[in-house]
């Protein structure tokens, strides 16, 4: 069972696509699949994110396991209902700082951090009443795989860019609290985690990322967290991925267990 200090929530989708194989830990709140309207992906995502924001706002200390990074938008919107200001620590192999104007692919998942900082108002409107997080309150760790225009946007921003190192991250935080802590598992060296949606090659080890998570929790008031379990949809429920998720959750200070398989 999950440790009482975290309220586990699972959001089993990638953008507007349901992931049937998404693993649900014992004791977690499993988000139901809302009826989605026909229309553009952002419109459909708004419905999903509203459900997550509502669930987050009802819990004392939410830890959201999702299949993508944009779900962080919902988590932060939910946390903002009781926290006036938030700092964000974002561990990711990618910058997620694209916008519709500079993205070469148009992939909405590559805009997740831009969503939080108010750079993509044309995508979603004001459905969640999300208040932009000040760039000076954002710490982006690793981000080793950037598009050229995205790299330029980050360089011109006030986002604090650091390596995926515990001391570097906590120094950049500089006492900013409360904190929302976000992890995309593709930050981990691709040789250690197989079957990722967007592997980014050599990077920090799983053990290093565990140290980063533990350090942030020790140094700051982490009021909410999210882990983007961005494995391929048919592999996210594999035993190896479950073990990796459990290790990362433990680094946040919680014990995670999986339900026993149904007997035949």
Q: Given this model, what pLDDT does residue 177 score?
A: 81
Question: Could you read off the pLDDT of 15-59 as tens digits, one per residue?
Answer: 999 999 999 999 999 998 899 999 999 999 999 999 999 999 999
CATH of domain 7-251: 3.40.800.10
The answer to whether 244 touches 186, Cβ cutoff 8 Å, is no
Specify the DSSP element, H or E, that contains 250.
helix 239-251
* Per-residue pLDDT band at 261 (split at 50, 70, 90): low
* Per-residue pLDDT band at 190 (split at 50, 70, 90): very high
Question: Could you read off the pLDDT of 211-248 as tens digits, one per residue?
Answer: 999 999 999 999 999 999 999 999 999 999 999 999 99
Question: Could you read off the pLDDT of 149-162 as tens digits, one per residue?
Answer: 999 999 999 999 99
Q: Given this model, what pLDDT does residue 4 score?
A: 46
Q: What is the DSSP string of 180-228?
A: EEEEEGGGS-TTTS-SBSS---S---HHHHHHHHHHHHHHS-EEEEEEE
* Per-residue pLDDT band at 175 (split at 50, 70, 90): confident
Q: What is the mean pLDDT of the chain?
A: 94
Question: Could you read off the pLDDT of 88-143 as tens digits, one per residue?
Answer: 999 999 999 999 999 999 999 999 999 999 999 999 988 899 999 999 999 999 99
The answer to whether 166 touches 215, Cβ cutoff 8 Å, is yes
Contacts of 207 by beta carbon, 8 Å cutoff, 6+ apart: none
DSSP letter for 231, please.
B
With left for phi above 0 and alpha for psi between -120 and 50, is residue 183 left, alpha or beta?
A: beta
Task: Name the percent of the chain lying above pLDDT 90.
Answer: 91
Name the token pair of 221. Answer: 């008031």
Specify the DSSP element, H or E, that contains 89.
strand 87-94
* Per-residue pLDDT band at 260 (split at 50, 70, 90): confident
Q: Given this model, what pLDDT does residue 263 score?
A: 44
Q: Given this model, what pLDDT does residue 259 score?
A: 86
Half-sphere exposure of 158 (CA within 13 A, CB side): 7
Look up tokens 């350090």; give the residue.
215
């Amino acid at each position: 069972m999950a440790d009482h200090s975290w309220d586990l929530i699972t959001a089993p989708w990638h953008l507007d696509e349901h992931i049937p194989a998404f693993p649900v830990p014992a004791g977690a709140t499993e988000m139901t699949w809302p009826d989605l309207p026909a229309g553009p992906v952002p419109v459909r995502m708004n419905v999903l994110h509203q459900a997550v924001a509502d669930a987050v706002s009802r819990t004392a200390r939410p830890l959201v396991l999702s299949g993508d990074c944009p779900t962080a938008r919902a988590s932060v919107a939910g946390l903002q209902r009781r926290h006036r200001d938030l700092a964000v620590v974002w561990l990711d192999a990618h910058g997620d700082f694209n916008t519709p104007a500079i993205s070469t692919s148009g992939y909405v998942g590559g805009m997740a951090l831009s969503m939080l900082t108010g750079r993509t108002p044309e995508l979603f409107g004001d459905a969640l009443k999300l208040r932009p997080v000040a760039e000076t309150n954002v710490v982006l760790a690793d981000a080793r795989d950037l598009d050229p225009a995205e790299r330029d946007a980050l360089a011109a921003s006030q986002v604090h860019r650091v390596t995926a190192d515990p001391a570097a991250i906590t120094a950049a935080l500089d006492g900013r609290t409360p904190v929302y802590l976000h992890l995309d598992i593709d930050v981990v060296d691709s040789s250690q985690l197989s079957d990722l949606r967007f592997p980014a090659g050599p990077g920090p080890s799983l053990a290093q990322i565990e140290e980063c998570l533990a350090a942030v929790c020790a140094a700051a008031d982490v009021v909410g967290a999210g882990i983007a379990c961005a494995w391929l949809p048919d592999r996210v429920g594999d035993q190896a991925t479950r073990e990796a998720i459990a290790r990362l959750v433990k680094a946040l200070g919680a014990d995670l267990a999986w339900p026993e398989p149904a007997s035949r």
